[in-house]
Every structure is written in structure tokens, then in C-alpha cells.
Chain A
Amino acid sequence: MCLGIFLTLKIFNIPDITTDGSFTLGGAVTAVMLINNYNPLITLLVVLLAGAFAGIITGIIHAKLKVNALLAGILTMTALYSVNLMIMGRSNIPLVDAQNIFSFFSADSNSQTEGMVLMFFVLFLLLLMGWLLHTDFGIAMRTTGNNEMMARAVGINTSAMKVYGLALANALTALSGYMMVQYQGFVDINMGIGIVISGLGSVMIGEALLKILRKDNLWLQIIFVVIGAIAFRLVLAYALSAGLSPNYLKLVTASIVLFIVSVSWFLKRRSDDRN
């Protein structure tokens, strides 16, 4: 999910909040397919397509109908709430005894297997994203986000490129919902609410850490998105273990993101002053 947000926010410069809906969409499709005994890998493919479709809708609303990106995301996210309820049929589905991606790889799945599978997915996606952004297509994506006028001048269809980017980003977010549902053992219609803030926080922590290290390299940027996500979760886990009521979790999440934004702003100003 964080890689998806990195793609939209940092590569395309689009604040996409379809994320809240496509995360749950991924989870809803996963739960319904797994309890109907579909293969977890086939389920994965359908989840990716569903997420991509959500992204395409946002992309078309934004790039073709020229609706502000934020509003386009809100529209799709709002519509997805009903779509997700339609897919699920009810607001919560437990995954009792259904085969999942962890038991698919190991019959006696335990936390170690789950960790290995998750690690495999993260590493695979890191390499995939790094490779993609270094291809000619990836450079065209980055050019679109960095200077749209120049991108069009070198023959890039920037509207189509934004649609591809949003499709890919939301496919990744849906994949995140797929993993989360299988990890926690249930899907809930509200599981995506505010998830975009966690993603933003993770991307910004990664960016702030890179600024502190004064490094600026595409591979490092991608790796630090994952490091940022882990750091963000650790901070939240620490807050909960220190006795914070779970009722205040969203408040703490928003405060952490605000803190990171302030630090990023301070680091940027310091760097600008130095230059």
C-alpha cells in the first residue's frame, strides 16, 4: 500500500485517496473468494485486477474528465464503500478454515511461515517497483509527474500515463488488503478508513530519513518507503504498548503524520538555505 502511495504521491504528484476504498476492495474480494474455496493465487490475480479497475476509474475521472485528483479519489472511494458491501453481502466476514496464501505455501502455517511469505511479497514488490521505474516506461511515468509540459513535448500521453499509474498504485493497495485480510483472519467494511494516512506517514518517514542521511537515489527512495512503513508501525505499536487507548489510535496516527510533515518541511527549508 505504501508503494502504491509512493507511486501516486511522489512519482505522479497526485494525492490519491482511492486507497481507503481499494484497500477494503482487495480484502472484500479476497474474503469472498477464499470462503468459496478459490485458489489463493487466482484470488490474488482477481484482487490485483479489481484494485487496478478502481484506479482506472479514478484516473479517468481525473485525467480525462479533468476533475481535481483529490475529488476524483473521494468520488471513487465513496462509491467503493457500496461496491465493497455488495461484494461482501454483509459488513464483516471471518475466514474460518478457508485456505489462504500462508497455508497454500505450508500446510502447518505458523507465524514464521507468515513472516516468510510477507517478506517474499515485500522483496518481490520492491524489486518490481525498482525495475519498473528504471525502464523506459518508468522514466516516462517519472517525467509525467515531474514536468508534464516537457513530458507531452517528448510524445508522452500524460493522461493515459496517469491512468496507468493510478491503476498500478491501486492494484498494489488492493494487494495490501489481500494480505491483511488473510493475516488478521477477517474482512471488515471499515478496515480501510484512514489507511491512506498511514501510507502517507510511512512515505514521509522514509523521505525524512533519506533527507537526514542526505541520500537521493531512486532505489533508496523505494527501500526507504518500506523502512518508513515499518518505523510508522513500530511507533504505533509502542504507543499502544505504553498504555494508549485504541480509541485514540487515529488521533495519534494523524498527529504522527503532522509531526513528520513538520520535520520534512524543516529539513527542506534547511536544505534550501544551504543551497
Chain B
Amino acid sequence: MIEIKEASKIFHPDTAQQTIALNNINLKINKGEFLVLVGSNGSGKSTLLNAIAGVTSLTKGKIIFDGSDVTSLQDFERSKWVAKIFQNPLAGTAPDLTVLDNFRMAALRTKNKSLRTGISNKFIESVQEKINVLSLGLENKVYNKMGSLSGGQRQALTLLMAVMDNCKVLLMDEPTASLDPRSAETVMSIAQKLISKNNLTAILVTHNMKDAIHYGNRIIQMKEGKILRDLKKEEKFNLILNELYEWF
């Protein structure tokens, strides 16, 4: 479970550019919950996601994962619990490394990167098996450089990499914003499958209202750093597209 207590984030405090990105947020996200965050630009969605990932530090408040206070932990230390899918499909992978090298690092997310050559035949087969599930024809491209693949292919692989090593929370910051409609649909359906298969707690930030309706079992609308609406289960499932557009 993720617990966010009295979280505030102020950028450029005590200057003319002062911006309150998060304003005393209190939020509990249960295990297995798939939360969709919506809101206009500057409402604080991405700041909240980055605060959970540890990329942005809070000005005030606490973040607790499964009872452990992780507020003071840096992003690489929080990767023990959290995996993040970036908006830019090129940001989640190392382009000059091979697909296998990328997967090797993902497989060691919570482990030591030691002086052993871990890319064995067994590891290669397991990666190919995982990639095969995507049905994107990438299983024979494991020796290719990640940079040679398309944005959609890289985003799909990033999702697979995210759930390789015992990840508990999946954060997705507009993961399909830079993709064509078909790739976007593929990536979101893969995400949906992986989240339910691994019983992950997931947070999706999106500007796509159809995705906001279609995915997740809870929806939160943010405005000016505050939570404006919070709909769960039936309330969320009964929400219709036109109603959602009226929120903005």
C-alpha cells in the first residue's frame, strides 16, 4: 500500500516564480489498485508521480510504502518498490546497449550489479520467452541495439522490463503520449495485462479521456495541486466520457 501524508511541493519558494505544485495531499492507494490521475496542465499530476518515484523531493510531508517511510530515499533506492514508465519512449531504455543488456539491468533492479557475466543462454531464453508474449516479433532482435527499435516497441519492452524483478508499484506518466494510435493501444493493453497478472499497484497519468475511462479501478482529478475528485470502483465504472469532459 502507498500512503501519502500531507504532501506539499513548492517550486522556487519565496521568489516571484513560486509555484505550489502539490498542496497538502493526503492519499492512500491500496495494493492492486489501478489509479488513473487526470487534470489540466500544471495541476500537479506528474509532480505527484515524480514524488512517489523519488525523482522530486517533497517540501513537506511523507511517503510510505508498505509501512516503510521512503521520503528520504533517492529515486534509485526506491526502485526496489517502484518502476516508472516515462512519457518519452526513448527515456526508459539505454539506446546504445543491446535489448539483452537492457533486460539484464532490469532483472537486477533490486540486486547487486556484481562482477559476473550474467547474460547466460538460460537468461537469453527467458528474455526471448517474455518478449514472445508481446507478439511484436522482437524475440529474435535481442542482440540488436535498443536504439534501433521504434518508440512503440521500446515502450512495450520498457513495460516488460519494469515488471521483471519483483516490482510492486508501476508508475506511468503519459506512456502513450508520443506514440501513434495503434502502438498506444498495444502498449496500454500490454500494461493492463501485466498489471493484473502481477497484481501490481499502478498509477497512470493521462490526458487521454478514453484511456481514463477504459483503464483502472479508481480515478482522481487534480487541480492546482489538490485532489478535486476521487472516484472508486462502481463510481469510476459508471463514469461516462461526456461526464469526464465536463470536469475540465
Which residues in A have some Cβ–Cβ distance to B below 8 Å?
Answer: 131-132, 134-137, 139-140, 142-143, 146-147, 149-158, 216
9 additional contacts, CB 8 Å, given A134-B117, A140-B105, A147-B91?
Answer: A135-B117, A139-B101, A142-B97, A147-B94, A151-B105, A154-B109, A155-B80, A155-B108, A157-B76
CB <8 Å contact, A150 and B92: yes
Chain B nearest CB: distance from A112 CB in Å?
35
Residues of B within 8 A of A157 (CB): 76
Q: How far is the CA of A155 from the CA of B82 in the complex (A)?
A: 10
Contacting residue for B84 out of A134, A139, A153, CB 8 A: A153
Chain B nearest CB: distance from A31 CB in Å?
33
Q: How far is the CA of A139 from the CA of B115 in the complex (A)?
A: 10
CB <8 Å contact, B101 and A142: yes
Q: What would be 17 A-B contacts, judged by CB atoms less than 8 Å apart?
A: A132-B115, A135-B118, A136-B112, A136-B114, A136-B118, A137-B113, A139-B105, A146-B94, A146-B97, A147-B94, A150-B92, A151-B76, A152-B76, A153-B75, A153-B76, A154-B105, A155-B76
Chain A nearest CB: distance from B101 CB in Å?
5
CB <8 Å contact, B94 and A150: yes
Interface residues on B, range: 35 or more
CB <8 Å contact, A155 and B101: no
Q: How far is the CA of A137 from the CA of B111 in the complex (A)?
A: 11
CB <8 Å contact, B96 and A142: yes
Q: Does B56 contact A (CB under 8 A)?
A: no
Residues of B within 8 A of A140 (CB): 105, 108, 113
CB <8 Å contact, A136 and B108: yes
Residues of A within 8 A of B109 (CB): 154-155
Residues of A within 8 A of B145 (CB): 216
Residues of B within 8 A of A150 (CB): 91-94
Which residue of chain B is the closest to A157 with respect to CB atoms?
B76
Chain B nearest CB: distance from A33 CB in Å?
29
Chain A nearest CB: distance from B23 CB in Å?
27
CB <8 Å contact, B118 and A146: no
**Given A139-B101, A156-B105, A158-B76, is A151 in contact with B114 using a C-beta cutoff of 8 Å?**
no
CB <8 Å contact, A136 and B115: yes
CB <8 Å contact, B83 and A139: no
Q: Does B86 contact A (CB under 8 A)?
A: yes
Residues of A within 8 A of B94 (CB): 142-143, 146-147, 150-151
